[in-house]
A = this chain, B = another copy of it.
Amino acid sequence: MTAVRPSGPLRLGMVGGGQDAFIGAVHRTAARLDGEWTLVAGALSSTPERALASGAALGLDRTYPTWEAMLAGELARPSGERIDAVSIVTPNHVHFPVARAFAQAGIHVICDKPLVHTSAQADELRRVAAQSGVVFAVTYNYSGYPLIRHARDLVRDGALGEIRKVIVEYHQGWLATRLEEQNSKQADWRTDPARSGVAGAVGDIGSHAEQLIATVTGLHLEALCADLTTFVPGRRLDDDASVLLRFQGGARGVLLCSQVALGEENALRLRVYGTHGSLAWDQEHPNQLHHVPRDAPRQTLTRGGPGLSAAAQAATRLPAGHPEAFLEAFANLYRGVAEAVRARAEGRAPDPLIAQFPDLTDGARGVHFIEKTVESSRSDRKWTDARWPG
């Protein structure tokens, strides 16, 4: 277990994530879990009234009606009281202006995924962040699981040999009916192109799947061939996708995602096959990682158990058999950002085992993936070039 820092927690502000917003509460809990952050300021909703009410309900010290007011208000405070970082947990279309403004102002940014709507916006954020030197994290939270870090280290250390095939799936069933017509805030914005972006399921969950491949395998995409479908009548964005992948160097892959797969809850599963062995992981049973070396029996590695890499161990709070799960993985990102922020403040190098989190590279590459997937889906050509210039 991480000790709470003697120097006390860092100060966090939040944009979005008011009452009824599922992901806001997740971020707040993740930030709080290790005692690394304390939420001190917020502009928690898109309407000033609800923003103020949400802040009051949370007992927030500094509640602002808008993110612009929050930025101004925080900048007006002495630096010893000002927020160290802002968490952006709004619907997708709000990410860009908020992230740009806070980054420009030198406030570190933790932004939900997918990063923004377009590659142009992503490039602009990368430019701004490079200029101001802020830490910028994108909460692809599944990369925070300890066994995903071990999987990455296994691949990097050659345990699987050369990668041949990658299969990643992310299946949910909650949008199998037209929930967006039934007063579901979650469904509403995710199926609205103006807020969600050019893709539905591909942006919301397919982008997690893409990031998981990139994190674990380090492979670079070369081309893809996508079949996007909207199964629910009247829906305006894809709710199902099947994508063939070709990687530079010859590996092949398949990325499947669906939000109409009844019976599936949050089934993010990764399989990687190489010339020396394979691995498999399932987010719904995140404390186990299956590894089969060539010509040997299947091994089930467990979080906290024997044989894990240093990074996997560093991301672990509890002994084996005492399961950790979604919130702990999410908290690993907040802990990683805290380490990066503190290191910068203290003028030292961050602990590389702790300061691990997806950043603007992941964020921008994810946007590019979404764009190329949609482009491929509309094309009659089999393969769409998907090399990321980033």
Q: A57 to B5: give the CA distance in the assembly, Å.
A: 7
| Interface residue? A266 (CB, 8 A) | yes
Taking the closest CB of chain B, its distance from the CB of A250, in whole angstroms, is: 8
Question: When the two chains form the complex, which single residue of B4, B264, B318 contacts A278, counting CB atoms closer than 8 Å?
Answer: B264
* Cβ–Cβ contact A265 & B302, under 8 A: yes
Q: A275 to B267: give the CA distance in the assembly, Å.
A: 18
Taking the closest CB of chain B, its distance from the CB of A327, in whole angstroms, is: 7
| Interface residue? A349 (CB, 8 A) | no
Contacts of A231 in B (CB 8 A): 164-165
Binary per-residue interface labels of chain A (1-42) against chain B in the complex, 1 for a CB within 8 Å, 0 otherwise: 111111110000000000100100110110011110001000
- Please classify the interface of chain A as helix (H, G, I), strand (E, B), loop, or mixed, using the class held by over half of its residues: loop
* Cβ–Cβ contact A262 & B326, under 8 A: no
Q: A1 to B240: give the CA distance in the assembly, Å.
A: 28
Question: When the two chains form the complex, which single residue of B56, B174, B324 contacts A325, counting CB atoms closer than 8 Å?
Answer: B324
Q: A167 to B168: give the CA distance in the assembly, Å.
A: 13
Taking the closest CB of chain B, its distance from the CB of A377, in whole angstroms, is: 9
| Interface residue? A314 (CB, 8 A) | no
13 contacts between A and B (CB under 8 A): A29-B33, A33-B327, A164-B231, A173-B273, A229-B252, A240-B252, A242-B252, A260-B273, A262-B275, A263-B277, A266-B320, A324-B326, A325-B325
Q: Which residues of A contact B (CB under 8 A)?
A: 1-8, 19, 22, 25-26, 28-29, 32-35, 39, 56-59, 164-165, 167, 172-174, 176, 225, 227, 229, 231, 240, 242, 244, 246, 252, 254, 256, 258, 260-267, 273-278, 280, 283-287, 290-292, 294-302, 304-307, 317-328, 379-383
Q: Kindly list 9 other residue pairs between chains A and B, CB separation below 8 angstroms, not including A26-B318, A164-B240, A263-B277.
A: A1-B29, A3-B58, A174-B319, A262-B274, A262-B275, A266-B320, A284-B323, A287-B325, A296-B306
